[in-house]
Amino acid sequence: MNRLSRRDGILYAYLTILVWGLTAPWRGLWQDDTIYLRMVRNRNRLRHALFGPIGTPMRKLYGLPTWLASITPRPVLALQLLYGAFWV
């Protein structure tokens, strides 16, 4: 069982690097990413920008990675790195 779990972990890491890791710097902003960046930048209070709902009331944490990316010099790359970190 342990050997099967290790094999699954290696396959998961390989597919993650293959699908996301090699192409992430080349990907631009998607439509949702630009909408989220605009919404976070237009909010007045920091708490509302970080934890305010985006889209529906249940999506309260969508603003946090977007805000973190928006304060960096390269928000597209920062978003990709955050998405990759959250995926793993």
What is the band of 25 on the pLDDT scale with cuts at 50, 70, 90? low
The answer, yes or no, to whether residue 1 has pLDDT greater than 60, is no
Cβ count within 10 A of residue 80: 21
Helix ranges restricted to H, the chain: 2-16, 31-42, 46-51, 63-70, 75-87
Q: Measured on CA atoms in the order 28, 77, 12, 15, is the torsion positive or negative?
A: positive
**What pLDDT, on the 0 to 100 scale, is given for residue 86?**
77
Question: What are the pLDDT digits (tens) for 31-72?
Answer: 777 788 888 888 878 888 778 777 777 777 778 888 888 889
